[in-house]
Amino acid sequence: MAVQDWNTLRGVAEQGYADGVMCLATVETVERWNKSKVIEPLLDADAAHAASILLDGALTRLHIFVCRGFAVARKDDLHLRTAIDFLKEPGRLDEEQSPQRRMDLEEATRLFDKAAADPRLARLKHVRDKLIAHMARYDEAILVKTTYNDLFGFTRLTAQIWERLSLGAGSAIELELHVEAYRESADAFWSRWEKTGE
């Protein structure tokens, strides 16, 4: 098992928290772009292709980050599942002396189990395995059912897990405090297209 002590757990929680911020920031940026008052000026300026490439890259990264946290843990892995597996060991949560941190860790575990059973994860993982990380035959029915709403909604659920894990490990503040800055930045970035159409 990759996570064998609380210090390693804190490291995984800190990285997961950073991933959570970046994933939620990506969702905010893409959602801010996806409005006709932004897309039309991009089209008029012949800049839509470049914007599309940048957004595809961001969405690919988002997809990989979200799915990797639920991968089967290998011995050297340091992702979300490895932290949750550590916390699920008998008596492990009892080692945490702070009642609030223990509640946060319990909530992270509960949310992880909920997410692991979520049908969106199976669809997202299929797309990741067959079209993003590898090129293979894929199930067209799964591809048709997988939407950006699936990806964004599952990202938000995964970010809640990262947040609870980080708070329980004593290494973070609420994600929204960081995401707001990215939301404002996305607004500033895309609003230039709204205003000028250039």
Work out the pLDDT band at 173, boundaries 50, 70, 90.
confident
> 116 in a domain, yes or no?
yes
Structure tokens at 90: 């008998």
pLDDT the model gives residue 143: 60
> 99 in a domain, yes or no?
yes
Instruction: Give the residue numbers spanning the domain of 139.
Output: 6-196
Report the percent of the chain where pLDDT is more than 70: 89
Rounded Cα–Cα distance for residues 44 and 39 (Å)? 9
Q: Which residue has the higher pLDDT, 134 or 86?
A: 86
Q: Which residues of 67-84 are buried (b: 16+ CB within 10 A; e: fewer)?
A: bbbbeebeeebebbbbbb
What is the average pLDDT value for the chain, to the nearest integer? 88
> 52 in a domain, yes or no?
yes
The yes-or-no verdict on residue 158 having pLDDT over 80 is: yes
**Could you tell me if residue 77 is left (phi over 0), alpha (psi between -120 and 50 degrees) or otherwise beta?**
beta
Number of structural domains (the chain) is 1
Please answer whether residues 169 and 101 qualify as being in contact, where contact means their C-beta atoms are separated by less than 8 angstroms. yes
Residue 44: CB atoms within 10 Å: 12
**Taking the mean position of all CA atoms in its chain, how far away is CA 8?**
20
Rounded Cα–Cα distance for residues 75 and 22 (Å)? 26
Lowest mean pLDDT among 59-63, 71-75, 142-146, 173-177: 142-146
Please answer whether residues 17 and 99 qualify as being in contact, where contact means their C-beta atoms are separated by less than 8 angstroms. no
- Residue 178's identity, in one-letter code, is H
**Dihedral pair phi/psi, residue 3, rounded to 5°:** -95, 115
Please answer whether residues 2 and 78 qualify as being in contact, where contact means their C-beta atoms are separated by less than 8 angstroms. yes
Work out the pLDDT band at 138, boundaries 50, 70, 90.
low
The yes-or-no verdict on residue 130 having pLDDT over 90 is: no
pLDDT the model gives residue 88: 96
Task: Kindly report the pTM of this predicted structure.
Answer: 0.88
Q: Which residue has the higher pLDDT, 93 or 134?
A: 93
pLDDT tens, residue by residue, 20-36 = 999 999 999 999 888 88
> 1 in a domain, yes or no?
no
Rounded Cα–Cα distance for residues 51 and 34 (Å)? 11
pLDDT the model gives residue 1: 58
Which are the contacts of 89, defined by CB distance < 8 A and separation ≥ 6? none
For residue 61, CA distances in Å to 27, 45, 49, 132, 177 come to: 11, 27, 19, 10, 22
